[in-house]
A and B are shown apart, each in its own frame.
Chain A
């Protein structure tokens, strides 16, 4: 009996490194980089949420922020290689998922935007996205009673101004925090990885973590993803430095199952295709690729993706 018990203990210790949560490296969340608005409030968040879903922001009232950032796909533009804009215009980059933006020091694939509050000006005014002018947006909002009333409540001023519009949108996007995936629950010792997920995590730590750092699974650096194209030189387009050619910011792998297609130009439709792309660099066999994908699936946070607080909202529905 004692022998049997010893044997079982031996087996457990042998596999313990694979299965036991204690073998998973604990990572703590860093301090947020983006500042919270001094006008931050529940009403400010709802106002930003309504604006995010309102096509009034676009030139012909056809496109809203949510057109390319769908809540059900972690605010990515699922199944679209690059973003779509007014008059069926096509952008040149993939619309990334929107979450954990407070921990970003830069935005866009080339990192040209340094603060979240100013980011929204880009899609609003880009001719291939919403194609509108800030003046027109403000005129339209100021002519809408509901908006005037809400903005006044949040910002205590009679006329809607640019900074208020940007601040309200930021209040919503800054609140999009995703940190309740299976991986996070493993970190809290609530659940355990399967053998395949644990194997995938070890491989991930060896090959992927250098760029996609836990717990955010992105970094604020710019790296080569092994894709060179003549019409998008990435970071170089901002800095003009030859060493920055074909470098792109490192995207988050959280909710990766929902944010396809992948890469800055959306060229890969599946995680398998992405892993095949990187396996040339890292020499990963098919089993290793499958294990990594099994791990990546643990980064999906359905409580975030299906959070009704982040879904479609209009001020008209407010009392």
Chain B
């Protein structure tokens, strides 16, 4: 009986409170941090840190700020019923001195020296399988002022957002060769951010 109550409770929670799921994918399978994934025949990639901000708004215009963190599975489930959603934070909140919850600078997403929050943070290593050469990469993509604004509204949110990380990294390291260290608002950072949002798809 106890088991039944517990199971029912879990089912109830999922049914009523998971309004939006964030799915981090590598070739349509679940993506995990610190695992090696082949980018092509010669490159392997291992990501140690991956976070990004989502800003959502309910129908009553109440705003919510979410830090989606690959190391925290709980952050991949959003419980509010959002009417609108965007990747990155709006300029107003960026300079508002709001430092609570997801916006706590302790999360490592606040640019103290250049007021504003990082929209997408991704850190890892690239390994050349043939030469065994290892290259560190670190992307802090953000900025709220033109021409380096890094926020993007998502339409038709649905019940799940799928982030196709394999496509993103292929565009960064294979199709075009970007600098491997970006830690300030800049052209390249904005381009990589735009590539990131282009890999997001929606599940109905």
Contacts and interface: CB of A to CB of B under 8 A. Distances in A.
A114 B115 contact: yes
Given A161-B104, A162-B106, A163-B104, A117 B115 contact: no
Contact of B97 (A35, A108, A122, A135): A35
B112 A118 contact: yes
B114 A112 contact: yes
A192 to B, nearest CB: 43
A161 B103 CA distance: 12
B110 interface: yes
Main secondary structure, interface of B, reads: loop
Nearest to A108: B113
Contacts of A134: 105-106
A138 B113 contact: no
A126 B111 CA distance: 12
Interface string B171-204: 0000000000000011000000000000000000
Contacts, number: 50
A238 B112 contact: no
Q: Size range of the interface on B?
A: 10 to 19
Nearest to A163: B99
A115 interface: yes
B115 A162 contact: no
A244 to B, nearest CB: 13
A108 B114 CA distance: 10
Interface centre among B96, B105, B110, B115 (most CB of A within 10 A): B115
B95 interface: yes
Contacts of A125: 112
Interface string A112-135: 111101110110011000000011
B106 A122 contact: no
B105 A162 contact: yes
Interface of B: 95-97, 99-100, 104-106, 110, 112-115, 148, 185-186
Top 3 closest pairs, chain A to chain B, by CB:
A121-B112, A163-B99, A114-B115
